[in-house]
Structure 1
Amino acid sequence: MSINFKRFVPRPGLVNKQGRLPDPSELVCIEVPKIFDQCLIKRCLVYGEGPDTNTTDCELRSEPLTDPKRYIGSRDFNIKLISVDKTPLKGKPGFKKIVICYTISFYSDYIDCNGVNKSEFYEINRTDVVGKFYCPDSIAQISASFVPVHGAKDLDSDIIKLEMVADALGGELLQDEEGNDVLDITLGYYIVVKCELIVQLLIPAYDYCPVPKEPCEEEPEEDPCERFEKAPIPKFYPDQNLDPLFPDCDDNDEEDD
């Protein structure tokens, strides 16, 4: 179904795949970070003594714990870019060898023998090398001033950006060589490395984003007993894992044929 242009209101939303949008009202110039290249780093790390490798890290073991009983899980994963080293590749304009140093931090929760929830903080330092990465130098140099004005500020138009999705794949309570209780974490993560340059783009536009007419919603407080009365009756027993006593109708039909 095509779009009725007279009733069309420009606003954020999904584009109708069966119709088409009306012509934009203007062409505007905006300044945004544009991605010139990106690649994926995928790691599954376990604790291992000695230098870090692509599969081990010596910082995935906790400090000695007091009477731990059970590992619960890990949370609050964070990544921080520490440094970037760029080396131009000969004969390949714009391409560089990138060495990135970053830190991943998170908390791991466990229960001790007294039933008390406790947390252990982990921080691992990693270095990865991207052998060939298109990250050209910006031709224009950017300088800007902000309010209150204390003088102009130079902006880095060449941006290396890291985006991460991480999870603890497991946690094992054991004893180290000195007999201390420790918690070893198996960490899995994905990191997207991006090279961005601040550029000006000419794009079609309709207008400023409309001011929303709906007021901000408030979550009404509900009485716990009322919520309990509305809830369905739960199952009293788990589902059984049983094989059928008789074959289904389709199997019978095939046997008769």
Structure 2
Amino acid sequence: MSINFDKFALRPGLVNKQGQLPDPSELVCIEVPKIFDQCLIKKCLIYSEGPDTDKTDCELRSNIITDPKRYIESRDFNIKLISIDKIPLKKKEDFKKIIISYIISFYADYIDNNGINKSEFYEINRTDIIQSLYCPDPISEVSSNIPSENSDSNIIKLEMVADALDGQLNKDTNGNYVLDITLGYYIAVKSQFIVQLLIPSYKYNTIPKGVCEENIEENPCEIFEKSPIPQFYPNQKLEPLFPYYDKDDFDRDFNENHSES
């Protein structure tokens, strides 16, 4: 489908494969983080006493909790990079062995026997080793009056997606209730630099003409009057009383049973 450029308004959005955009008005230089290499850390950890392993962590058990009824969910996952060690690889130029230490924190919610929602805070300290990551040293040095993190943090970046896969109310060796969490998470480890890129540009993004929508309160009774009638009974899941017959099979059986002898 061709584009009518007289009616086409440039704006942020998806470009389909058949679409053809007009020629850019200029080439501009922008400063952005560019990813040079990345890898994925994928782990599922359960609670276990003793030294941490690749599948266990001793910090996935809560402090003693009183009269818990059931676990609800975990929330507010966060990751903080603590330290980075970079060891050059002799046979691979600009590749390094990366040792990262980080902290994952989150809250676990549960309800007690009095019906009160309560939370426990968890922090787990982990260290992972990436055997080979393309992580070249910067050629130029940057000076700025804008405060920034240390240079290693600017080069190595962590992005995480995490979830509590399970929460179990157990008793410790002294008979006290504790909450044990099973944690699953993905961490993307990225080697990146701030670089200058030359990209095509059209113009400044225009300010939208539409006014932001206001939250207009609607009368609850009016909402009720407009809503459809609900289903009064749950759906039934019934087995057929008779085995299924194909129509041709049924006709053939009928003819055989009713044919004249």
Q: TM-score surpassing 0.5?
A: yes
Distance 1:254 1:210 in 2: 69
- The 8 Å contact of residues 99 and 129 in structure 1, kept in 2 or not, is answered as yes
Aligned to 2:36: 36
- How many corresponding residue pairs? 251
Cα distance in 1 between the residues matched to 2:56 and 2:148: 41
Q: Which deviations, in whole Å up to 9, do the C-alpha atoms of 1:163-221 show, x marking residues without a partner?
A: 11111111100101111100001111111111111110011111111111111222211
5+ residue gaps, structure 1: 147-151
In the alignment, what sits opposite 1:191?
187
The CA distance in 2 between the partners of 1:64 and 1:232, in whole Å, is: 48
Residue 88 of structure 1 aligns to which amino acid in structure 2? P
Q: Hey, what does 2:255 align to over in structure 1?
A: none
Task: Tell me, in whole angstroms, the C-alpha distance in 2 between the residues paired with 1:190 and 1:244.
Answer: 46
Q: Kindly report which structure 2 residues correspond to 1:142-181, keeping only aligned pairs within 5 A, or say none.
A: 142-146=142-146, 156=151, 158-181=154-177
Give the alignment of 1:13-92 within 5 angstroms.
13-92=13-92
Alpha-carbon distance change, 254 to 134 in structure 1, aligned in 2, over 3 angstroms: farther
Segments of structure 2 that go 5 or more residues without pairing to the other structure are 253-261
Q: Which residue of 2 aligns with 1:240?
A: 236
Which protein has the larger Cα radius of gyration, Structure 1 or Structure 2? Answer: 2
Q: Residue 213 in 1 paired to residue 209 in 2?
A: yes
The residue number in structure 2 matching 1:149 is none
Structure 2 partner of 1:115: 115
Query: How large is the Cα RMSD of the aligned pairs?
Result: 2.1
Which deviates more from structure 2 when the two are superposed, residues 2-11 or residues 111-120? 2-11
Aligned counterparts of 1:86 and 1:107: Cα–Cα separation in 2: 32
Moved more, 129-138 or 158-167: 158-167
Give the distance between the partners of 1:95 and 1:123, measured in 2 at CA.
31
For 2:24 and 2:250, the matched residues in 1 are separated by: 65
Identity %: 69
- TM-score (norm: length of structure 2): 0.89
User: Which AA in structure 1 matches 2:175?
Assistant: G
